[in-house]
Chains A and B, each alone.
Chain A
Amino acid sequence: MKADPKNVLTGSHYLDGNHASAEGGIAAGCKFFAGYPITPSTEIAERVSRRFPLIGGVFIQMEDELASMAAILGASWGGVKSMSCTSGPGFSLMMENFGLGIMLETPCVLINVQRGGPSTGLPTLPGQADMMQARWGSHGDYEVIALAPDSPQESFELTIHAFNLSEKYHMPVLVMTDECVGHMTERVVIPPAEEIELVERRYTDKEPGEAWPYEPTEGGVSPFLPVGKGYKFHVTGLTHDYRGYPVINAETQETNVRRLIDKVNNHVDEIIWLEEKDVEGAEIVVMAYGISSRVIQPAITKARKEGIKVGQIKMVTVWPFPEKRVRELAGQVKSLIMVEMNYGQVFLEMDRCAAGKCQTYLVGHAGGTVHNPDDIYKTIKEAVK
């Protein structure tokens, strides 16, 4: 299915990452936004609130982030694509209902424009320290999908991609951007609507009374039941069976939770998106995501000019983690380096998957600004020894 031309501002624009994220959501067909303003994410909500009246969307400023997350889940079950945006403290507040979205298997998109934390931290400056919260922030066992744009252009594109993944795998999908990308203004090229491919919601072809919301299927997700068309069904955050009714025992728990995990784990090869450069024959591979994947490049160029065989992997998806690829590489390279604006979160996964087969390095800091390329260069020099 192609995007609706009414929603797509085709052309070259000079936009910041937040405005571009908003346009990505709108182009993807999002028609419901609920949010609570928080720096540095507010421009997404502002833009959506101005654009929605023109295209028939519903924008609600909620009383808080708990309600915002709940509202987008409700809207999604009502049959429209929905999204919200927030930053650190708001992300914490959304975590309980994010888990509800996972448990209910609700397509929606949540954008976290990361700032420095913990707590209120650095509202106006960037961080990447919510990455483990994105992975494990809600209680219970589950898998997540999280994308990390490196620019306004990618903020646009990956927000659309996030909607597509959410409709495909029936789950909230996270776009983990940051203050630097959110407030950085660059050229954003929005293609014609017919070039934007969208995944639309699949509905059951069974009659009312014959269909259930969580019937087992090969892909792991079953078609939706439309609301308002005579289908009576129930969904709940309690452990439930294929009918959506609570069944509180270990056996149902196993089926229910396995399903949440398997629908992602069985499709990691389709979901994981890495952009590799000069990895073949490299002695050192630098991994990074989001804005950090840009600032590693001057350091890598400098090191390569000196003859150091260094490659790079930009992780467009951070979760699910590219476990298989890292295990493979660990047996081939001398060192793996993770560059992120925190004190080692995604690094932990890289280090775990390297399993002692190569040296691992973290270039991290507490946030507030992007990395100094010199720090990355120094680590490359250290890692080649």
Chain B
Amino acid sequence: MPNWIKFFFALWLLLPGVSVAQGVEPPLLTVAAPGKTIDEAYESLLRAIGQHNYTFVRDQAIDSRLVPQQWETKNLRIVYFCNFNKMDRALSTDIRAAQFLPCRITLIETAGGVEMVAINPAWTSIVLGNPLLHPQCLELKQDYLAIMEEAAL
């Protein structure tokens, strides 16, 4: 049997296992920053974003432009950021990557500190059903976790 047939057969056998493994991805990634205020967590997050080769894009309150600025919710802030190389690669692979790019982390102030939450791109790629996009989403997930864990320190 030619090698390339063996290769595709092996791939065929392996991918369902990958698919099953994908099923265990949680929809949300959450990292706690105990003892921090939302302003402290925000500053740490911006530093961590830069240190991981991402660019800060913008931030907003959850009710931004819905209520006067002075009434905006103060205990929840959304931060958008991007690595344009990765965005270009992901959009070239599957234009639907625009559904989860640029990256977003939501900061939520709680009684004990701040929670940082992001939608898990690896879960999203399962929903989109494109195995070619999935490796990039796994990499993105690791970046999210690294950024949030660093910001939590």
Q: Decide whether A and B are members of one complex.
A: no
Residues of A within 8 A of B (CB): none
